[in-house]
Amino acid sequence: MSACYKTPLRSSIRAQRVFPSTILRTVLRRSVASKPVYEGHIPLNALENAFLAVGSAVMSLADPRRGDMIAALGETTAGPALPRLRDLMLENAEGRQILKDRPRVNSHTVDMDALARLPEGTFGRAYVTWLERCGVTPDTREPVHYIDDPELAYVMQRYRECHDFYHCICNLPVNVSSELALKFFEFVNLGLPVAGISAAFGHLRLSWPQRQRLFAEYVPWALKCGSSARSMITVYWEKRWEQSVQEMKKELGIWDPPEAKWPKALSEAKAAAAKRAAVPSHGESQSHVV
């Protein structure tokens, strides 16, 4: 079962050798904006891209609730990281299947009620429990606008939509400290610059005790676990709903971080899930309401 996947760190070192000439080539090629190639595509030339990168960085720090700005920052600073991730996906069978199917994650494509009925200990059940505990849905992800290649745009979209799966498998809630811990994890695991930028600046908004806890406990976990785990972008989460969470963590090389503060206790979430499982027909009609 353990195929040979290049670890993320080794690949990023290879990428760094081509980094300077890639930038020069990109800037020369992108002096004029191209035409839109997918829905929502907003082509930018190199200057506009730089302007938006700086502007979205400032705005993300000033108002962290602007999810669209963090998304824009990710897209404008992606650079060679996205082609590298796409190549990682192409190198393994599961990743290739994802690129072929291009699955999307939202409440229409994921049947929440079916997942809630799965046995305890499966990934699908754990995901629904996690959503319940944190009070979030998979529907709030900004679509990709500023990536010119449609396949790379999909890789970016996939990264954004799988973020909640990373939360779930790493057993982290959605508070600021946990999000930052996950950004450190994502940065060493996937190599996306925006994860590094968020990690480097996001902690400025924390209080001193929170920051100390972050760097003393979560960051070492994130760096160790993220760099040794398999690249998260190559995991076809939707095909693993029935897989046991423990088995999955062993396969991917992930272990739990220090215990975090959850908004809702596990028992509350379990009770809500049980109530939903007990009324399947009502739940069925609910999932089709737009």
Binding residues (CB under 8 A) for another protein: these are: 42, 45, 47-48, 51-52, 55-56, 59, 66, 68-69, 72
Residue 122, classed as helix, strand or coil, is strand
CB of 92 to another protein, least distance (A): 36
Tell whether residue 284 is among the known ligand binding residues: no
* Nearest CB to another protein, comparing residues 201 and 255: 201
Rounded-to-integer distance, Cα 223 and Cα 147, Å: 28
CB of 37 to another protein, least distance (A): 17
CB of 244 to another protein, least distance (A): 42
Tell whether residue 256 is among the known ligand binding residues: no
Tell whether residue 164 is among the known ligand binding residues: yes
CB of 53 to another protein, least distance (A): 10
For residue 54, count other CB atoms closer than 10 A to its CB.
12
Which residues lie closer than 8 Å to 36 by C-beta, 6 or more apart? 42, 43
* Nearest CB to another protein, comparing residues 65 and 288: 65
* Nearest CB to another protein, comparing residues 8 and 74: 74
Contact criterion met (CB below 8 Å) for 130 and 247: no
Tell whether residue 41 is among the known ligand binding residues: no
* Nearest CB to another protein, comparing residues 58 and 93: 58
The 3-state secondary structure of 126-157 reads HHHHHHHHHCCCCCCCCCCCCCCCHHHHHHHH
Query: CA-based Rg of the chain, rounded to a whole angstrom?
Result: 19
* Nearest CB to another protein, comparing residues 33 and 272: 33
CB of 7 to another protein, least distance (A): 36
CB of 276 to another protein, least distance (A): 34
The residue whose two tokens read 């970016």 is 156
% helix, strand, coil for the chain, step of 5: 65, 0, 35
Which residues lie closer than 8 Å to 57 by C-beta, 6 or more apart? 73, 197
Bridge partners, 244 (sequence order): 122
* Nearest CB to another protein, comparing residues 68 and 111: 68
Contact criterion met (CB below 8 Å) for 155 and 86: yes
Residues of each annotated binding site for Zn(2+) = 163-164, 167, 179
Residues of each annotated binding site = 163-164, 167, 179
